Amino acid sequence: MDVKKSIENSNTYLMNTYKRFPIVLRKGRGIKVWGADGKEYLDFVGGIAVNALGHCYPKVVIALQKQAQRLIHVSNFYHIEPQIKLGKLLVEHSFADKVFFCNSGAEANEAAIKLARKYAKEHIGPERFEIITTHNSFHGRTLGALSATGQEKFQKGFEPLLPGFKHVPFDDVTALEKAITKKTCAVMLEPVQGEAGVKVPAPDYLKKVREICDAHGILLILDEVQTGIGRTGKLFAYEHFGITPDIMTLAKAMGGGAPIGAMLATEKVSEAFKPADHGTTFGGNPLVCAAALATIETILDDGLILDQCRRMGAYLMDKLNSLKKEFSSIILDVRGMGLLIGMEITRDCAPVVKACMDRGLLINCTAGTVLRFMPPLIVEEDDIDRMTEILQEVFERLS
Ligand SMILES: *Cc1c(COP(=O)(O)O)cnc(C)c1O
């Protein structure tokens, strides 16, 4: 099937939920992907922070192949070996004592919202159900997670939303403290706002949020769906801020491309969930858990990949800051942590994304004017150099 026909069929048969670029991707290795027409691209989108180890990382491929031959799916009515191993690994490397597996970031946040409400009703007060989240946050597209999300553009047309969410400005502890009432059960935050345009809070913000939560006896939920699994240079972003949450959600990079999410919590909070309180058919299925085990074990192995992420993050930041000097009339700001970096420009970034794509570079645009860089954590200096060259060429033509 030729590319034109494929795209025609895509538009005919698939619901119109994505504004797709007119290319068909067929194959990937490391940081490169190839279109069905054979064109090669350098992939700085990485499946939106999913492909932490690049495309088709051999250990992940082999883990999937082996598990597919042994056992693909059984019900959560039974104990599942790869799920047990993955749970143990996550608990051993995080603040958490218990893990619940699901299939996506939105589902992980739904689980977090339900757990926080149940815990609060039983342990803080029966009238406690309200969750405070932040403006411009992104927590997913299901109705609960969408109600938690602090962006009207995602909510319009789907009202009425789920009650019980209150939004305050991000990185503003005074506003947060003021918003707490006798109904509040938790605060829910991204440590670094991703979708909002890579917003990094003040270094002491999360520490102050933790103190406020403790002072009021309410829970802190961190949405690490985008920042978790090494993206910021540590396994979890909270490790940078000297705090631990009560509940954390993960997804994106967790399965090396296989769809898996998780909600982690302390022992005390997890106890609010009893059998039949929550569940999912596919959550933590053997196949995706095998992929996640291979992914996380690789990232933890000797800390090499986390080290690479920190070094390449600094290198990329340097390069982008040089571009900022050169194109000061176009580039407003470069910010981020590890390999989650945003470059805010003075104009709509869609034409930049398009011009880069024509030159064989995939980059992402978020919040309208922010170019977001989320390459695999195994990205190398050569890739960053090539990416910068293309971006420079595109900015030259724009200015
Ligand atoms: C992507 C994302 C989600 C939603 O994850 P899905 O797997 O698309 O449901 C939730 N929170 C954050 C911070 C995200 O970046």
* φ, ψ for residue 185, nearest 5 deg: -115, -25
The percent of residues above 70 in pLDDT, for the chain, comes to 100
pLDDT of residue 300: 96
Number of H helices, E strands in the chain: 14, 15
Question: Average pLDDT, stretch 223-248?
Answer: 98
> Which of 51, 137, 138, 188 should be mutated for ligand 1, with most atoms under 8 A from CB?
138
| Token pair recorded at residue 8 | 């025609």
In angstroms, the CA 243 to CA 229 distance is 17
Q: Residue 303: what pLDDT?
A: 84
pLDDT at 357: 98
- Reduce the DSSP state of residue 293 to 3 states and report it: helix
Question: Has 223 been annotated as catalytic?
Answer: yes
Closest ligand 1 atom to Cα of 142: 9
Examine the pLDDT at 1 and tell me if it is beyond 80.
no
- Residue 354 CA to ligand 1 centre (angstroms): 24
Candidates 98, 118, 199, 252; catalytic one: 252
Share of the chain above pLDDT 90, in %: 98
Distance 226 CA to ligand 1 centre (A): 7
Measured from CB, residues less than 6 Å from any atom of ligand 1 are 104-106, 109, 138-140, 190, 194-195, 223, 225-226, 251-252
State pLDDT tens for residues 171-197. 999 999 999 999 999 999 999 999 999
How is the chain split into domains, by residue range?
Answer: 3-56+303-398, 58-302
- Does the pLDDT value for residue 324 go beyond 70? yes
Could you tell me if 92 and 241 are in contact, meaning their C-beta atoms sit under 8 angstroms apart?
no
Q: Can you tell me the distance from the alpha carbon of 52 to that of 256, in angstroms, rounded to the nearest whole number? A: 6
| Active site (annotated) includes residue 114 | no
Amino acid letter, 87: G
Q: What is the mean pLDDT of residues 226-232?
A: 98
Q: Measured between alpha carbons, how far is 48 from 61 in angstroms, rounded to an integer? A: 20
What local confidence, expressed as pLDDT, does residue 3 receive? 94
In 325-375, the DSSP E strands lie at 331-337, 340-345, 361-362, 364-366, 370-373
Which CATH code for domain 58-302?
3.40.640.10
Instruction: State the residue for tokens 């420079």.
Output: 392
Nearest residue to 268 (alpha-carbon basis) of 124, 134, 77: 124
Number of CB atoms found within 10 A of residue 160's CB: 7
The preferred substitution site among 193, 195, 232, 248 for testing ligand 1, maximizing ligand atoms within 8 Å of CB, is 195
DSSP state of 103: S
CB 31 within 8 A of CB 56: no
Ligand 1 atom nearest the C-alpha of 107 is 9
Chain centre distance of CA 60: 19
pLDDT over 80 (residue 341): yes
Q: Is 121 left (phi over 0), alpha (psi -120 to 50) or beta?
A: alpha
- Same CATH fold assignment for domains 3-56+303-398 and 58-302: no
**In this predicted structure, what is the pLDDT of residue 302?**
81
Atom 6 of ligand 1, residue of closest alpha carbon: 105
Domain spanning 3-56+303-398: which superfamily? Aspartate Aminotransferase, domain 1 (3.90.1150.10)
Beta strands in 67-161 (DSSP E): 98-102, 130-134
Distance 293 CA to ligand 1 centre (A): 20
Q: How far is the CA of 325 from the centre of ligand 1 (A)?
A: 33
Atom of ligand 1 nearest to the CA of 145: 10
pLDDT, average across residues 361-370 = 97
Nearest atom within ligand 1 for CA of residue 259: 7
User: How many Å separate Cα 14 from the centre of its chain?
Assistant: 25
The single residue of 223, 234, 327, 373 carrying the catalytic annotation is: 223
User: How far does the centroid of ligand 1 lie from the alpha carbon of residue 46, in Å?
Assistant: 14
Please state the atom number of ligand 1 nearest to the C-alpha of residue 223: 13
**30 DSSP assignment:** B
pTM: 0.98
Packing angle of the helix pair 350-358, 381-398 (nearest 10 deg): 120
What's the full length of the chain, in residues? Answer: 399
* 297 Cβ contact partners less than 8 Å away, ≥ 6 residues apart: 59, 89
Residue 7 phi, psi dihedral angles, 5° rounding: -65, -40
Q: Rounded CA gap, 220 and 224, in Å? A: 12
Transcribe 196-259 into DSSP letters: TT-BPPPTTHHHHHHHHHHHHT-EEEEE-TTTTTTTTSSSSGGGGTT---SEEEE-GGGGBTB-
Q: How far apart are CA 375 and CA 200, in angstroms?
A: 18
